[in-house]
């Protein structure tokens, strides 16, 4: 073979970061050493892997074809290294999640993982569905849990759990005592909602499609907590996950609106790249996800227990 694992490490890091400096910092190498390794890999095979524009490197067709195999080999090499070093349990894992799952579900799942495999490091990135899916697509994340479907090609979506959105308002709002709340009354109010690209917004847009021309969106926010706080101090209606609304509803800071005209159920998915190697850490985390009781996710964390195995 005309390449080493170090060559592939540098290549994969540059593909992820888009420049040699950032890749070198991630790998604890000097910039000159990382640049030399990348150039040597390209020279040995006589095939450039990036298009160069100043300091910025854009992966080309050959590089994109190589990246999945390189990532696969590096992941397998980590498992071999752990085995030879005598480390027990799965290795590190890079997880992604959309906001509802990231803030209200992932801490519980990660706690189980950490308890089972205390020597394994976990990194978690939280964002909206589109952003997290893009990070899985470029192999920056090993596995993600998202609400809503992903448009990126090359990803596999595995059906996970059902979640529900709820409409909320200030307890002093005129609609707070209306049960059920008709769609005409809801359309007369201003709404505060998540931004486009989020799973919450995707579900809400679908539910409101018949009334889109009359729908009054007054504010778009990127954080679920910001939506809840805005509703709690204003006259606007909000829409968030049932999981995110649980505590504020119990505290009486907001009130749930029952809207039978709207279908606010949605699915959550486990997302991976189709060509991603399922390492021991990925398999272990998926096992935890598929073993959890759905009803447990809707209870406060202090009452939560994992599913029996």
Alpha-carbon gap, residue 130 to 177, rounded angstroms: 36
Q: Per-residue pLDDT for 37 more than 70?
A: yes
Does pLDDT of 213 surpass 70? yes
Q: Check pLDDT > 90 for residue 76.
A: no
Name the architecture of domain 163-266: 3-Layer(aba) Sandwich (3.40)
The structural domains of the chain, with segments of one domain joined by +, span 5-68, 93-161+267-303, 163-266
Q: pTM for the full model?
A: 0.73
| Residues forming a β-bridge with 272 | 156
Could you tell me which CATH number the domain at 5-68 has? Answer: 1.10.10.10
163-266 and 5-68 share a CATH fold: no
Token pair of 250, please?
């119990």
Q: Which two tokens stand for residue 199?
A: 């799973």
Chain segment 259-303, per-residue pLDDT in tens: 999 999 988 999 999 988 888 899 999 999 988 765 556 555 544
131-190: pLDDT as tens digits:
999 999 888 899 999 987 787 888 999 999 888 899 999 999 999 998 899 999 999 999
pLDDT digits (tens, 9 = 90+) for 223-251: 889 999 999 999 999 999 888 888 899 99
Fold of 93-161+267-303: D-Maltodextrin-Binding Protein; domain 2 (3.40.190)
- For residue 5, pLDDT over 80 is answered with yes
Q: In angstroms, rounded to a whole number, what is the distance separating the alpha carbons of residues 228 and 254?
A: 8
Give the total residue count for the chain.
309
């Amino acid at each position: 073979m005309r390449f080493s694992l170090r060559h592939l490490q540098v290549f994969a890091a540059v593909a992820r970061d888009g420049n040699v400096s950032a890749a070198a910092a991630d790998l604890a190498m000097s910039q000159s050493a990382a640049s030399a390794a990348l150039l040597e890999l390209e020279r040995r095979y006589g095939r450039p892997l990036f298009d160069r524009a100043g300091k910025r490197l854009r992966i080309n067709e050959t590089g994109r074809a190589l990246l999945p195999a390189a990532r696969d080999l590096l992941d397998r090499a980590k498992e071999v290294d752990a085995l030879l070093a005598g480390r027990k349990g799965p290795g590190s894992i890079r997880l992604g999640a959309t906001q509802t799952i990231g803030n209200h579900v992932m801490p519980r799942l990660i706690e189980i993982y950490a308890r089972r495999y205390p020597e394994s490091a976990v990194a978690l990135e939280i964002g909206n569905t589109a952003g997290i899916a893009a990070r899985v697509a470029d192999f920056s994340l090993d596995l993600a849990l998202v609400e809503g479907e992903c448009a990126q090609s090359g990803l596999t979506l595995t059906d996970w759990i059902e979640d529900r959105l709820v409409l909320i308002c200030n307890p002093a709002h005129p609609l707070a005592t209306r049960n059920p709340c008709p769609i005409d009354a809801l359309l007369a109010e201003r709404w505060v909602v998540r931004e486009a690209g989020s799973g919450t917004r995707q579900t809400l847009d679908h539910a409101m499609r018949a009334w889109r021309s009359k729908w009054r969106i007054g504010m778009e926010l990127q954080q679920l907590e910001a939506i809840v706080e805005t509703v709690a101090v204003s006259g606007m209606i909000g829409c968030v996950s049932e999981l995110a609304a649980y505590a504020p509803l119990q505290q009486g800071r907001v009130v749930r609106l029952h809207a039978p005209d709207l279908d606010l159920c949605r699915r959550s998915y486990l997302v991976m790249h189709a060509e991603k190697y399922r390492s021991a850490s990925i398999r272990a985390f998926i096992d935890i996800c598929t073993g959890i009781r759905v009803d447990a996710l809707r209870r406060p964390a202090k009452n939560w227990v994992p599913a029996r195995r």
